[in-house]
């Protein structure tokens, strides 16, 4: 048979990738040290050396999450795959699930739980808002869920949700506490074991400054008991907890069985990014993100912009939401800044679409120098973008 599809002309050209300031909600810039780690030679996904690297990653995640959980590993995929891994393994058809919706992530968790037959209820706060522990307890007592989902860092609205006492409340009602920390992990204090979180996940591409594509996750003993008492197999083979924990050597079985071909070069980058974080220290990283965010927020107010989250205590230090300036088209501002300053900032997402501009300064990007660069780009955009007379 002859070929009917010729090689595309575009692939004869050299690969072109611009070098940009990645100051949106993620992915963040990847420093050379982490890029170089990912460029090391490929080895087999079942070679003893990769198992060593995976074991280092596991210890790094335990430090990052502040957990002693044995069932700690990284999903081969983005934060969404970890979200599905958490939900698909702990929820069976007919289980009651409660999600806290104050932005897009609670909506996504509800959608995933619904797709696998969960009976989903939500508590809803306006974008930018939070829930009190009383709100949460009322809903737990009413709906008696098997799983409660909350986003620690709501990147769509710029909210850092308080966590204290919620794990304890969930356990009072025999419910697992699932926390999304994709946008907050490493940039804001979180103690998985002490805060009684049962399932916690994050992504590689934000504070960790690794390329997108791996998602650290951890399960408490309580979560493992719920999984081992399942009457049905999880709907996803790829995200099956028992297969994944065996591949990651978490289950103490003498042999690891082939499940999927782990993205080995992505594991190298993730390991390097965890090493960078360990060198700085978690507390130093939290403090740096906090002080840089405060400096940024003060600077925004100085140039006449307003922050979307009014209460300073619950502002996410990693992703800042700015009320879309009155009279301007937010898209013109983001494109002007990309064109003129080679710098990505973004608009809103889900419930905050059209309402805000979002700036992410995460990991190595969280510095006063970068804040000054964003403030001058915004000042320039406000002078040069079209302003309507409304
Ligand atoms: C993705 O995480 C986003 O907040 O845009």
pLDDT tens digits, one per residue of 367-386: 999 999 999 999 999 999 99
* Residue 76 pLDDT exceeds 70: yes
- The answer to whether residues 52 and 118 belong to one domain is yes
Q: Is the CB of 27 under 6 A from ligand 1?
A: no
Q: Is the CB of 360 under 6 A from ligand 1?
A: no
CA of 112 to the centre of ligand 1 (A): 17
Beta-strand pair 319-323/356-360 = antiparallel
Q: Is the CB of 77 under 6 A from ligand 1?
A: no
388 pLDDT band, cuts 50/70/90, is confident
CA of 176 to the centre of ligand 1 (A): 25
Domain end position, chosen among 245, 278, 311: 278
User: Model confidence over 297-348: pLDDT tens digits?
Assistant: 999 999 999 999 999 999 999 999 999 999 999 999 999 999 999 999 999 9
- The answer to whether residues 157 and 203 belong to one domain is yes
- The answer to whether residues 273 and 342 belong to one domain is no
Q: The tokens of 308 are what?
A: 């979307």
For 83, what's the count of Cα atoms within 13 Å in the CB-facing half-sphere? 21
CA distances from 256 to 145, 169, 180, 259 (A): 34, 37, 28, 9
Given a contact cutoff of 8 angstroms between Cβ atoms, the answer to whether 253 and 201 are in contact is: no
Place of tokens 């990014």: 273
Return the sign of the alpha-carbon dihedral for residues 6, 9, 10, 11. Answer: positive
Closest atom, ligand 1, to C-alpha of 360: 4
**What pLDDT score does 389 carry?**
64
Q: Binding site annotation covers 358?
A: yes
| Residue 57, in any domain of the structure | yes
Given a contact cutoff of 8 angstroms between Cβ atoms, the answer to whether 217 and 73 are in contact is: yes
Closest atom, ligand 1, to C-alpha of 182: 2
Mutate to test the pocket of ligand 1, among 320, 349, 362 (most ligand atoms within 8 A of CB): 349
Mutate to test the pocket of ligand 1, among 24, 83, 102, 156 (most ligand atoms within 8 A of CB): 156
CA of 361 to the centre of ligand 1 (A): 13
Mean pLDDT (the chain, rounded): 97
Mutate to test the pocket of ligand 1, among 24, 26, 357 (most ligand atoms within 8 A of CB): 26
Q: Is the CB of 188 under 6 A from ligand 1?
A: no
Nearest CA to ligand 1 atom 5: 25
Question: Average of pLDDT values for 28-35?
Answer: 98
- The answer to whether residues 55 and 99 belong to one domain is yes
Whole-number Å distance between alpha carbons of 338 and 28: 15
| Residue 11, in any domain of the structure | no
Whole-number Å distance between alpha carbons of 201 and 244: 15
- The answer to whether residues 60 and 144 belong to one domain is yes
Whole-number Å distance between alpha carbons of 292 and 185: 16
Return the sign of the alpha-carbon dihedral for residues 17, 23, 26, 32. Answer: positive
In terms of phi and psi (left: phi > 0; alpha: psi -120 to 50; beta: otherwise), the region of 243 is: alpha
| Residue 8, in any domain of the structure | no
Q: Is the CB of 103 under 6 A from ligand 1?
A: no
| Residue 4, in any domain of the structure | no
- The answer to whether residues 303 and 241 belong to one domain is no
Q: Is the CB of 61 under 6 A from ligand 1?
A: no
Neighbours of 376 (CB within 10 A): 13
**What pLDDT score does 261 carry?**
97
List the domain range (segments joined by +) for residue 223: 32-278
* Residue 42 pLDDT exceeds 60: yes
| Residue 49, in any domain of the structure | yes
170 Cβ contact list (under 8 Å, min separation 6):
140, 148, 176, 177, 196, 198
State how many domains the chain has.
Answer: 2
| Residue 156, in any domain of the structure | yes
Given a contact cutoff of 8 angstroms between Cβ atoms, the answer to whether 215 and 75 are in contact is: yes
Whole-number Å distance between alpha carbons of 374 and 305: 13
CA of 359 to the centre of ligand 1 (A): 11
- The answer to whether residues 225 and 329 belong to one domain is no
**What pLDDT score does 348 carry?**
97
**What pLDDT score does 387 carry?**
87
Whole-number Å distance between alpha carbons of 373 and 174: 48
Question: Average of pLDDT values for 111-138?
Answer: 97
162 Cβ contact list (under 8 Å, min separation 6):
130, 313, 314
**Domain holding 369: CATH number?**
3.90.1150.10
Q: To the nearest 10°, report the CA torsion of 295, 204, 184, 274.
A: -80
| Residue 390, in any domain of the structure | no
CA of 26 to the centre of ligand 1 (A): 6
**What pLDDT score does 32 carry?**
98
**DSSP code for 13:** S
- Name the β-bridge partners of 121: 98
- The answer to whether residues 249 and 110 belong to one domain is yes
CA distances from 189 to 231, 281, 287, 372 (A): 36, 12, 9, 25
CA distances from 135 to 12, 130, 146 (A): 59, 10, 17
- The answer to whether residues 335 and 224 belong to one domain is no
Closest atom, ligand 1, to C-alpha of 346: 5
Whole-number Å distance between alpha carbons of 227 and 287: 36
| Residue 122, in any domain of the structure | yes
**What pLDDT score does 98 carry?**
98
Domain end position, chosen among 227, 257, 278: 278
**Domain holding 256: CATH number?**
3.40.640.10
Domain end position, chosen among 278, 313, 329: 278
Cα 171 → chain centroid: 24
**DSSP code for 385:** S
Closest atom, ligand 1, to C-alpha of 206: 2
CA of 13 to the centre of ligand 1 (A): 31
Q: Is the CB of 205 under 6 A from ligand 1?
A: no
- The answer to whether residues 251 and 345 belong to one domain is no
Q: Is the CB of 24 under 6 A from ligand 1?
A: no
Q: Is the CB of 25 under 6 A from ligand 1?
A: yes
Enter the ipTM.
0.91
- The answer to whether residues 265 and 133 belong to one domain is yes
- The answer to whether residues 333 and 266 belong to one domain is no
Nearest CA to ligand 1 atom 3: 25
Q: Is the CB of 26 under 6 A from ligand 1?
A: yes
**What pLDDT score does 175 carry?**
98
**What pLDDT score does 390 carry?**
57
Whole-number Å distance between alpha carbons of 330 and 336: 10
* Residue 172 pLDDT exceeds 90: yes
CA of 206 to the centre of ligand 1 (A): 9
Neighbours of 145 (CB within 10 A): 25
Whole-number Å distance between alpha carbons of 205 and 119: 32
Whole-number Å distance between alpha carbons of 175 and 153: 21
34 pLDDT band, cuts 50/70/90, is very high
């Amino acid at each position: 048979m002859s070929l009917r599809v010729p090689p595309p002309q575009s692939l004869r050209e050299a690969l072109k990738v611009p070098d940009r300031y990645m100051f949106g909600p993620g992915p963040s810039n990847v420093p050379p040290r982490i890029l170089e780690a990912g460029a090391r030679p490929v080895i087999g996904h079942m070679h003893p050396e990769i198992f060593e690297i995976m074991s280092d990653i596991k210890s790094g995640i335990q430090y990052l999450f502040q957990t002693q959980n044995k069932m700690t590993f990284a999903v081969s995929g983005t934060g969404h795959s970890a979200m599905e891994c958490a939900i698909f393994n702990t929820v069976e058809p007919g289980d009651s699930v409660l999600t806290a919706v104050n932005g897009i992530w609670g909506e996504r968790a509800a959608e995933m739980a619904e797709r696998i037959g969960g009976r989903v209820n939500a508590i809803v706060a306006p974008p930018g808002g939070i829930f009190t522990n009383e709100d949460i307890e009322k809903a737990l007592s009413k709906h008696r869920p098997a799983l409660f989902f909350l986003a620690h860092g709501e990147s769509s609205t710029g909210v850092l949700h308080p966590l204290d006492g919620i794990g304890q409340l969930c356990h009072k009602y025999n419910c697992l506490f699932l926390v999304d920390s994709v946008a907050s992990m490493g940039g804001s204090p979180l103690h998985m074991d002490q805060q009684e979180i049962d399932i916690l996940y994050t992504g590689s591409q934000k504070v960790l400054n690794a390329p997108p594509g791996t998602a650290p996750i951890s399960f408490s003993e309580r979560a493992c008991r719920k999984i081992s008492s399942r009457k049905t197999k999880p709907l996803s083979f790829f995200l099956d907890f028992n297969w994944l924990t065996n591949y990651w050597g978490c289950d103490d079985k003498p042999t690891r069985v082939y499940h999927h071909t782990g993205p080995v070069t992505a594991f190298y980058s993730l390991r390097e990014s965890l090493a960078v974080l360990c060198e700085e220290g978690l507390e130093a990283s939290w403090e740096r993100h906090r002080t840089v965010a405060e400096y940024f927020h003060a600077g925004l107010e100085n140039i006449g912009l307003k922050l979307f989250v009014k209460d300073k205590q619950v502002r996410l230090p990693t992703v800042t939401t700015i009320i879309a300036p009155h009279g301007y088209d937010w898209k013109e501002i983001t494109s002007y800044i990309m064109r003129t300053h080679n710098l990505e900032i973004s608009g809103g997402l889900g419930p905050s679409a059209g309402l805000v501009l979002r700036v992410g300064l995460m990991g190595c990007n969280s510095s006063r120098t970068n804040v000054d660069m964003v403030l001058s780009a915004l000042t320039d955009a406000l002078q040069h973008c079209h302003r309507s007379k409304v």
